[in-house]
Structure 1
Amino acid sequence: MSVDKRLADLGIEIPTPAVPVANYVPFVISGNLVSVSGQVPVKDGKVAFEGKVGADVSIDDACKAARLCALNIIAQVKAACGGDLNKVKRIVKLGGFVNCVDGFASQPQVINAASDLMVDVFGDAGKHSRSAVGTNALPLNVPVEIDALVEIG
């Protein structure tokens, strides 16, 4: 099944890729790998979630933020592939960062929302290695930031 068909079946629209807010590029292609810069929960050009998980942000909202980060990763990968997501051979790795209070230990649960989306969209090719790290702050006071390494062909 094509990725576009799977997206349609899931009722998912891929957003327009976000533009960088600092001195970096949204992705780099090296050989058959695409390294996607950290994506934050931005929708329609605006930060959709702000705050610290365990204080201002619930786990449920943090999961929604992680899913939005994953959608933004897919948007960058689509741009890297010239619009053809069927070129994705494998989601190799996700690196997830959760802006959270001291003692918060559910980073894996939050980043699962992004991992689940990758598998839903890319099937077995969406299964990946992963990091899920807690931190005391993230840019723009977002609760989640996720980067990715993707194999294309």
Structure 2
Amino acid sequence: MEERTLKKRKMGVYILSFLPGLGHFYLGLMQRGLQFMLLLFCAIFMTHMVEMFAFFIPIIVFYSYFDALQYHSKYRENEELIDEPVFKQNLIRVNKAVIAWIFIGFGGLSLLENSADYLQLSIDFNILYKIIVSAVFVIIGIRILIGKPKEEV
């Protein structure tokens, strides 16, 4: 009976891991699974804005797949599964400037890549959407760089 549940669990991990994060959810690694799902959906969104980001989608899918299989191997060997995040929060706090420049770079790259569409005489919703989202990314990056103004007491 024990071996049968291990096989069932293994098959479930194999099948569910095709969508990044689901295999981790199945193993009880909620934080790690959520981060992989968010990475995938962010990459899909960014690909809609800048087509060259499609390069990251297979990388995320395969890395998540093999990561889930590696955690399943630890599960089969009765090792304790620790739900470690893919990105540690102190990494994000320490590198605010890097994150800000990533936002600015993505927004600027999106504006440049789609500049031919912006120069058309007719404006449709898709072009307007891309302009607004690109500008929002640049503004968010600038706000992160500037930071909150300190209140004087």
Task: Please indicate the TM-score interval, normalised by the length of the shorter structure.
Answer: under 0.3
Larger strand share, 1 or 2 = 1
Q: Return the TM-score normalized by structure 2.
A: 0.24
Higher relative contact order, structure no. (Cα contacts within 8 Å, ≥ 6 residues apart): 1
Structure with the higher helix share, 1 or 2: 2
Q: Name the TM-score, length of structure 1 as normaliser.
A: 0.24
Which protein shows a greater Rg?
Answer: 2
